[in-house]
Chain A
């Protein structure tokens, strides 16, 4: 980043909304952490597209981390109405598993019941905090990958011969 701060908010909001929606809908959320990484890559793309200068991996990390936090909020609001559906879906999967594999222990059926009881505000806040922290890390990773893909800008016409002196010889990207 050449002295100019990239627009973090809007790309992170859009990327976070996409990632949060996709990771909050039952069945669609089967891609696990890949939606968060994908949302952060999208956010990096949007930030790089709007930026007049090349953005670096560190910018991607910041944009991606915010994307992850936004995604955690979106996922929370979306997962509340889908909560019962998801629990029912999981129970159905376990029942089908028991049919095809009788050796499946019966106690597996109630394995993931921590979040399936009555909703409390403390539980919601704890879940939000945990998912925001994890998504921020995964988002940072996605943001860095996104910046590696889309962060570099071609030199504007007339500046083709300009040689940029790196601030730190050990700090250049390949």
Chain B
């Protein structure tokens, strides 16, 4: 039963991130085809990203719905989610070591701070890479936390 709950949270997260990444790529495709829904998709991502075209990768001739760093974070999240069953298994919910989190967070923190304070200007590839690194550790928190919550709810029901 515990495994089922974790698996359910895992699958829901997987579907969610695939839909999220799909929508990021769909926006420029719809734009290139002149389908008006693209405006709504770009609008949906505006609360979570500055969407500056110069800081975004292009697809089908138009900027993607989020910047390179955000794309990295979400792609990294998907990669981490793929690794989750291999590294953690689905039989128990465990948070990762804090050292792992800090080590994978350091590049994005340093790069973002450097850009913010004008010390250097990163390329979009570097922004993507630091985003992927940081994003890859996030599902280990997200799935574990939600699974813990779901298991708690189950105990209350029982």
Footprint of B on A, CB under 8 Å? 23, 29-34, 36, 56-58, 60-62, 72, 75, 90, 93-94, 97, 101, 104-105, 108, 111-115, 127, 130-131, 134-135, 137-138, 140-141, 143-145, 147-149, 167-174
CB <8 Å contact, A144 and B141 = yes
CB <8 Å contact, A113 and B53 = no
Chain A residues within an 8 Å CB radius of B155: 167
**Complex-state Cα separation, A165 to B61, whole angstroms:** 58
CB <8 Å contact, A171 and B141 = no
CB <8 Å contact, A141 and B138 = yes
**Complex-state Cα separation, A106 to B31, whole angstroms:** 14
Chain A residues within an 8 Å CB radius of B98: 148-149
Chain B residues within an 8 Å CB radius of A108: 53, 62-63
Within 8 A of A (CB), among B34-67: 39-40, 42-44, 46-54, 61-63, 66-67
CB <8 Å contact, B53 and A111 = yes
**Complex-state Cα separation, A11 to B60, whole angstroms:** 44
Dominant SS among interface residues on chain A: helix
CB <8 Å contact, A169 and B47 = no
B84 in the interface, Cβ–Cβ < 8 Å? no
- Assuming the contacts A57-B141, A112-B42, asked whether A171 and B48 have C-beta atoms less than 8 A apart, the reply is no
**Complex-state Cα separation, A13 to B66, whole angstroms:** 27
**Complex-state Cα separation, A58 to B150, whole angstroms:** 8
B144 in the interface, Cβ–Cβ < 8 Å? yes
Dominant SS among interface residues on chain B: helix
Partner of B53, one of A29, A94, A144: A94
CB <8 Å contact, A60 and B145 = yes
**Complex-state Cα separation, A94 to B92, whole angstroms:** 49
**Complex-state Cα separation, A60 to B92, whole angstroms:** 18
User: Which residue of chain B has the shortest Cβ distance to A143 in the bound complex?
Assistant: B145
Interface residues on B, range: 35 or more
- Offer 25 A-B interface pairs, CB within 8 angstroms, sorted by A: A30-B50, A32-B49, A32-B50, A32-B70, A33-B48, A36-B48, A57-B145, A61-B149, A72-B47, A93-B52, A112-B42, A114-B40, A138-B48, A140-B142, A140-B145, A140-B146, A144-B95, A144-B146, A170-B92, A170-B93, A171-B92, A171-B93, A171-B148, A171-B151, A173-B94
Chain B residues within an 8 Å CB radius of A140: 142, 145-146
User: Which residue of chain B has the shortest Cβ distance to A94 in the bound complex?
Assistant: B53
B116 in the interface, Cβ–Cβ < 8 Å? yes
User: Which residue of chain B has the shortest Cβ distance to A142 in the bound complex?
Assistant: B141
B2 in the interface, Cβ–Cβ < 8 Å? yes
**Complex-state Cα separation, A173 to B94, whole angstroms:** 5
B97 in the interface, Cβ–Cβ < 8 Å? yes
Partner of A169, one of B50, B61, B92: B92
Beyond A144-B142, A148-B98, A171-B92, 12 additional pairs, beta carbon < 8 A: A33-B49, A33-B70, A61-B148, A105-B61, A112-B42, A112-B43, A114-B43, A143-B145, A145-B138, A169-B92, A172-B92, A174-B96
